[in-house]
């Protein structure tokens, strides 16, 4: 089994589509194979797996860890469907402040790989969704930060109007204007 790498319009974000086998019993695929990823130039060492379950309308994000704890994130939806979003936080980048969105679902089996320099979030579109993601760095509360999910400068067209948010996501996300005053990342070649 192999994978297909789909480059996006933003350097540092790639979509990964795995080959899979399906018959009357169900399906099988390798969600991660270090050798196959390395053959495609994605030679990463993952150290932590995370798993969340959320009902329809929950929006999580836009989260990132700064240089005190940078993480590549390999994200997939294993139950239901989400709309997954990343925002470029590399000041000086031609795509700084631009967002990228993609549907991830149990049906399409797509994954998205984000470099550390991106804020990440998603909204649940199905009745429930389970999201799993692998990280190249451990969770580091001292490095945590978030961009406001509804920042008018970023203008993400979320497919819902009244999301269910955590208190953190409702109140602590900074605007892109605030981020520019003390950026965590500067533009350089993306590492994916």
Tell me the catalytic residues.
63, 133
Angle, vertex CA 48, rays to CA 46 and CA 54, nearest 5: 125
Q: Residue 91: exposed, middle, or buried by beta-carbon count in 10 A (0-12, 13-18, 19+)? A: middle
Token readout for 32 is: 């991660």
Phi/psi for 178 (5° steps) reads -65, -40
| Region for residue 165 given its phi and psi (left: phi exceeds 0; alpha: psi -120 to 50; beta: otherwise) | beta
């Amino acid at each position: 089994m192999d994978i297909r790498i789909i480059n996006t319009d933003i350097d540092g974000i790639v979509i990964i589509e795995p080959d899979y086998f399906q018959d009357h019993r169900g399906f099988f695929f390798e969600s991660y194979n270090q050798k196959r990823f390395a053959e495609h130039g994605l030679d990463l060492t993952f150290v932590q797996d995370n798993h969340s379950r959320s009902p329809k309308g929950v929006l999580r994000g836009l989260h990132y860890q700064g240089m005190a704890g940078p993480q590549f994130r390999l994200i997939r939806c294993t139950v239901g469907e989400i709309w997954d979003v990343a925002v470029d936080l590399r000041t000086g980048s031609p795509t700084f402040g631009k967002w990228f969105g993609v549907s991830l679902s149990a049906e399409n089996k797509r994954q998205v790989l984000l470099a550390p320099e991106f804020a990440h979030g998603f909204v649940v579109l199905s009745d429930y969704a389970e999201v799993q993601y692998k990280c190249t760095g451990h969770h580091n509360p001292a490095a945590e930060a978030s961009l406001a999910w509804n920042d008018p400068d970023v203008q993400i067209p979320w497919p819902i109007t009244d999301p269910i948010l955590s208190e953190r996501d409702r109140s602590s996300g900074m605007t892109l204007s605030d981020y520019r005053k003390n950026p965590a990342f500067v533009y350089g070649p993306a590492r994916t």
